[in-house]
Every structure is written in C-alpha cells, then in structure tokens.
Amino acid sequence: MGAGVTGPHGTLLEPTSLRARSGELLLATGPPRSGRTALALLLAGRLRPGTGTVLRNGKRDPTELRRTVAVVDAPGITEPEGSIELREVIAEGLGIAGRPFGARAVRTWLAERGLRQQAGVRFEQLAPHYRTWVLLDLARARREVETLVLDCPDRHGGEASRWHAVAREAANHGYAVVALCSPHTAVELGEVPARIGEHNGVSPPEEQAETTTPSVADSGSL
C-alpha cells in the first residue's frame, strides 16, 4: 500500500514506499505537485499518513521521528527568507539546534567554515550549493538528528552535482539523507531514485517509509 497523505481537498501524496538507511543518500523524485514536500513532512512525523505507516527502526513512533528527522529547505516551511543576511540565517539555525546563537557564536561558525567575508551577504545571493551546504550543516548541529530530508534543492538552479556532493558528504558522516528532486535531475545525476507514488522495491509487510540509525542500518526503510 505504501504511506500516503490525504488533505481536506484531496490527495496530497499518493501511497509511496521507500527505504533510507544511515550512511546512505537516497534521491526521491516526482514532478511538481506530486507531493514532494508532503513526503518530506511525512517522513519527519509532521504529517499523519492517511494510508500506510512511517517507521523508524521498525517501530511506529511519530514523536521520535519529529525529534530525529530534520526537514531542510522546505519551501515556505523551513526555507530561510532569501532577503536576510547569512549571519541571521546562521543565528536562527543555531538557535533552533539548541546551540549558542549570539554574535560571537555566529562569527565563530562562519570563520570555521571560511565564510566570514560572506556574513552580510543576502542568503539568496549565495551560490545554490553553498545554501544547501549551510542549511545541511545547521540541521546537523541538532545533536539528536539522524536523518536529513532535503526538499528540492534543484529548484534553486546551479549544477546538481554540486549540491549532490554536499548531500553525499552528510551521508558519509553517518546520516540517512533523502534528497527530493525532479525526475530530470535524477537522470542528470545518473542516479536510480525512489519514485513518489510507487513501491520502490519495498515489499510487504514493509510497505512503509522507515528510517534507520547506524546501529540497525541493515533492517530499515524510510
């Protein structure tokens, strides 16, 4: 069956089954209006499935999903306002992560990443892959986060290979990373993606979305 979402005016996400494991990057594709952001929120326990189940390590636990899954750059939800300066984006992200977020902490964060000169640059003026890098890094600042769901970084333009490398680097640090994108982008990257509205090789009784932690990386699906 897969996990799907129904809203007050119809289907937001067709039933979809996929599996994401710690230390791996999974692309999930669908055309516009296919429910890509709905899928991101579903995986993070922020939307209730109308069909199917979202599992973490084989268990249904929406509270734990909300604690351990970060939705990154979702349009109108977790996407930063483009007109604000990079330093403000950093301060907000550090605060959300429960880290010190005063001026000194922000300066330190920027200096450690070689971005001190860009502190006053409007966020929308940064190269697309730099925006993705910053947002993924801030999401990783939350100590409890194990899974990163990156919502359509290809909408910002630029070379897909560059944000893909950033997402891959996060996976190499042990995170389960799901990057939502267009079918065309997946082809450009030469990746075999999970497709929204399909089962994607997840067979019963595991027709759900599931996340895994490093200790049980062989037994889960997102």
Instruction: Kindly list the domain boundaries of the chain, sorted by start residue.
Output: 3-80+144-216
- Per-residue pLDDT tens for 36-47? 999 999 999 999
Q: How many CA atoms lie within 13 A of 116 on its CB side?
A: 7
Question: Which positions ≥6 away from 19 have C-beta within 8 Å?
Answer: 26, 200, 201, 202, 206, 209, 210, 220, 221, 222
Sheet holding 209-211, edge to edge: 18-19, 209-211, 54-56
Report the alpha-carbon distance of residue 107 to residue 112 in Å, rounded: 9
Q: Is the peptide bond before 80 cis (omega within 30 degrees of 0)?
A: no
Question: 176 forms bridges with which residues in the sheet?
Answer: 147
- Using a pLDDT cut of 90, give the percent of the chain over it: 87
Question: Which positions ≥6 away from 82 have C-beta within 8 Å?
Answer: 122, 123, 124
Does the domain at 3-80+144-216 match CATH 2.60.40.10? Answer given as no
Q: If you average pLDDT over residues 159-179, what whole number do you get?
A: 98
Whether 206 shows a pLDDT value over 90: the answer reads no
Phi, psi of 54 (to 5 degrees): -105, 125
Mean pLDDT across the chain: 92
Cβ count within 10 A of residue 159: 13
Whether 219 shows a pLDDT value over 60: the answer reads no
Whether 204 shows a pLDDT value over 80: the answer reads no
- Per-residue pLDDT tens for 169-178? 999 999 999 9
The model carries a pTM of 0.91
- Per-residue pLDDT tens for 117-127? 999 999 999 99
Phi, psi of 176 (to 5 degrees): -80, 125
- Using a pLDDT cut of 70, give the percent of the chain over it: 91
Question: Which positions ≥6 away from 123 have C-beta within 8 Å?
Answer: 80, 81, 82, 83, 84, 85, 86, 89, 131
Sheet holding 176-181, edge to edge: 69-72, 147-151, 176-181, 25-29, 194-195
**Which two three-digit tokens encode residue 68?**
């351990």
- Per-residue pLDDT tens for 71-112? 999 999 999 999 999 999 999 999 999 999 999 999 999 999
Q: Looking at residue 209, what is its pLDDT?
A: 64
Q: Looking at residue 201, what is its pLDDT?
A: 80
Q: If you average pLDDT over residues 15-29, what whole number do you get?
A: 97
Q: Looking at residue 208, what is its pLDDT?
A: 53
